[in-house]
Amino acid sequence: MTSVLQNFSRSTKVAVDRLSFEFQFKPVKEPLTIQQAPDIGCFVYGLYIEAANFDWNKMVLIENPPGMMHNEAPVIHFVPKENYTPDPTDYECPLYKTMTRSGNLSATGHSTNHVLNIMVPTPKIQSTYWT
């Protein structure tokens, strides 16, 4: 992810510390059907959502069906943006390296298992519902 931001920074002459990611969810159920990388950013797939689900028609986070704990997330396009301000109604979903959220606290106060937060669109339910 750092290299994606660095490459974008070099190509646009925008300072890397002014960049962050916008997340675009793609209605692709089979990631291997994607034949080429995006012009800007990168595609991420193989992630799972815990205790929630994703509506593939509306491309929003929804409640989990009874009895299901883990659901596949769609392909996510990580798009570098300068001074990006996410939609305040989106859910700030934490992304972890492993299914166990625990990790050691680093000097920054973040878990070593935490990668970043992905802004996920939600329907009428407030984003605070998910926390």
pLDDT higher at 127 or 14:
14
Please give the pLDDT value at position 5: 96
Residue 76 belongs to domain spanning: 2-130
Tens of pLDDT, residues 14-37? 999 999 999 999 998 888 899 999
Instruction: Work out how many domains the chain is built from and give that number.
Output: 1
Q: What is the pTM of this model?
A: 0.87
Tens of pLDDT, residues 55-81? 999 999 999 888 888 899 999 999 999
Q: What's the 3-state SS for the chain? A: CHHHHHHHHHHHCCCHHHEEEEEEEECCCCHHHCCCCCCCCEEECCCEEECCEEECCCCEEECCCCCCCEEECCEEEEEEEECCCCCCCCEEEEEECCCCCCCCECCCCCECCEEEEEEECCCCCCHHHHC
